């Protein structure tokens, strides 16, 4: 079901009418394509207070390929604004955040990016903790009010580890993150694995994507293949034709397999003799009913596919050493797992379970196996799953976010590809919502 409202507001008469009626004005998002590989304008590098990482940050920002200007008043229409607020440690210091951004925020280019850089709120210094936590409220509010397709994020870096943030800054300051806003990403200090080619960071690597026959999974497979990976596309045997078509198109291979099969991990290991560098748990189902009307089998099917099979295959593949060192595991949560949803006790439980799995396993997987574990939490994404939702709920899902539109499978895929990068070693244990800053669970 195409988003007709987005189409109408993309025309001059439609824009005029909807503005007069006070209706939402979704901006047309500028996503990555061969023609649109970077943001359309300069990057403004601002600092609040006395930062100790200014020069290191300048080096990383220069690597984005954008033209960098430093200081307020130095770029007339910035497509990206990066505010280094790592030094803000007191309530008074928050005045520097206002002083830096207030004069420039109106001039940010449509479809632009604002990234505030912070550090983890301290457990020992409650003044620093207050000031750094304040940045979260600030960023989430700015995301809601800024409009014009501009996104706003808070990126917390580990002390002295600016270089670990390169893959994340490249992602957040690019068209690849068009549907992500109001997020807080916290990096560890782990050094990035070397990247020889940022245009094909997964060259020579093998990825496996579950649920790859269609929807988000097919898009994830194709973006990972674009980034150079050999992709093994897994889906249930009933979808073998679609699966083979997707795999052939990407030069990958097809693995028809029900992920809930007892020997799923063994079959995956056999299909990847050189091991896996990227494992994407995307397969998922819904069997909606209110709890009072939900039979045990509908409950069990959803928990089995969405959570239990993810736990089982992850454990088995890590234990067998099938996930190579430097590997990346990406699981799929949902904003329903954060906010809850009417009729989805089973689904929301399974997706919240994914969040628990990621947070708990991530530090151990890094320490024991050199593997990161993260999750995407999609909001309303235009797929067959959401096309089946009744009209009014579908429209609400599309509009109730800061960008006033649904996301596309490629938005989830680009986020997965950022997690999957060798340079994203410092991105671990993160749940990143790809939801246009949905009001649900905000």
Active site residues: 347
The span of 121-129, 136-144, 338-346, 380-388 binding ligand NAD (CB under 6 A) equals 380-388
Q: CB nearer to ligand NAD: give 109 or 233.
A: 233
Round to whole Å and give the CA distance between 379 and 386.
10
Residue 380 sits in the site that holds ligand NAD (CB under 6 A) = yes
Smallest gap from residue 210 Cβ to ligand NAD (A): 5
430: tokens are: 């993160």
Helix, coil or strand: residue 124: coil
Size of the chain, expressed as the number of residues it contains: 442
Residue 314 sits in the site that holds ligand NAD (CB under 6 A) = no
Residue 378 sits in the site that holds ligand NAD (CB under 6 A) = yes
Q: CB nearer to ligand NAD: give 116 or 212.
A: 212
Residue from 9, 386, 415, 438 binding ligand NAD (CB under 6 A): 386
- Strand ranges inside 56-105, DSSP E: 68-70, 80-84
Helix/strand/coil (H/E/C) assignment for every residue in 329-349: EEEECCCHHHHCCCCEHHHHH
Smallest gap from residue 314 Cβ to ligand NAD (A): 15
345: tokens are: 């006790």
Round to whole Å and give the CA distance between 324 and 286.
31
Cβ count near 25 (within 10 Å): 14
In the range 272-291, which residues lie near ligand NAD by CB under 6 A?
A: 282-285
Q: CB nearer to ligand NAD: give 200 or 385.
A: 385
Residue 352 sits in the site that holds ligand NAD (CB under 6 A) = no
Smallest gap from residue 324 Cβ to ligand NAD (A): 23
339: tokens are: 């906010």
Binding-site residue total for ligand NAD (CB under 6 A)? 27
Say if residues 287 and 302 touch (Cβ distance below 8 Å). yes
- Strand ranges inside 214-291, DSSP E: 230-235, 253-256, 276-281
Helix, coil or strand: residue 222: helix
Residue 357 sits in the site that holds ligand NAD (CB under 6 A) = no
Residue from 149, 215, 252, 436 binding ligand NAD (CB under 6 A): 215
In the range 14-73, which residues lie near ligand NAD by CB under 6 A?
A: none
* Residues of the shown chain interacting with ligand NAD in the complex, contacts defined by CB under 6 A: 210-211, 213-217, 235-236, 239, 258-260, 282-285, 305, 332, 334, 378, 380-381, 383-386
């Amino acid at each position: 079901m195409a988003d007709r409202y987005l189409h109408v507001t993309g025309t001059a008469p439609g824009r005029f009418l909807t503005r007069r009626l006070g209706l939402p004005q979704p901006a047309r998002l500028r996503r990555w394509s061969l023609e649109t590989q970077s943001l359309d304008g300069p990057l403004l590098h601002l600092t609040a207070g006395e930062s100790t990482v200014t020069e290191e940050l300048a080096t990383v920002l220069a690597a984005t390929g954008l033209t960098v200007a430093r200081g307020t008043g130095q770029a007339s229409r910035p497509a990206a604004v990066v505010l280094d607020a790592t030094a803000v440690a007191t309530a008074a210091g928050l005045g520097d955040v206002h002083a830096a951004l207030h004069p420039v925020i109106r001039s940010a280019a449509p479809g632009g990016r604002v990234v505030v850089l912070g550090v983890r709120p301290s457990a020992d210094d409650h003044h620093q903790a207050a000031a750094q936590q304040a940045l979260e409220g600030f960023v989430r509010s700015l995301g809601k009010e800024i409009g014009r397709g501009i996104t706003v994020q808070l990126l917390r870096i580990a002390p002295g580890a600016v270089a670990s943030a390169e893959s994340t800054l490249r992602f957040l300051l690019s068209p690849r993150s068009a549907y992500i806003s109001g997020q807080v990403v916290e990096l560890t200090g782990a050094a990035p694995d070397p990247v020889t080619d940022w245009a094909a960071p997964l060259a020579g690597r093998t990825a496996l994507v579950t649920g790859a026959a269609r929807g988000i999974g097919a898009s994830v497979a194709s973006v990972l293949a674009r980034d150079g990976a050999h992709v093994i596309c897994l889906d249930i045997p009933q979808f073998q034709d679609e699966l083979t078509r997707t795999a052939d198109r990407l030069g990958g291979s097809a693995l028809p397999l029900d992920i809930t099969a007892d020997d799923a991990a063994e079959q995956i290991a056999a299909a990847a003799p050189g091991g896996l560098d990227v494992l994407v748990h995307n397969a998922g189902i819904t069997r909606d009913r209110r709890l009072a009307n939900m039979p045990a089998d509908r409950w069990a099917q959803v928990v089995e596919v969405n959570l239990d099979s993810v736990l089982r295959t992850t454990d088995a593949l890590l234990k067998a050493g099938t996930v190579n060192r430097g590997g990346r595991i990406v699981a799929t949560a949902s904003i329903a797992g954060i906010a809850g949803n009417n009729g989805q006790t089973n689904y929301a439980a399974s997706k919240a379970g994914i969040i628990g799995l990621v947070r708990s396993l991530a530090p151990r997987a890094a320490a024991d196996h050199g593997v990161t574990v993260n999750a995407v939490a999609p909001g309303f994404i235009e797929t067959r799953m959401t096309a089946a939702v009744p009209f009014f709920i579908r429209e609400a899902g599309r509009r109730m976010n800061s960008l006033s539109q649904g996301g596309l499978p490629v938005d989830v895929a680009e986020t997965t590809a950022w997690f999957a990068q060798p340079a994203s070693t410092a991105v671990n244990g993160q749940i990143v919502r790809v939801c246009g800053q949905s009001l649900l669970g905000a």
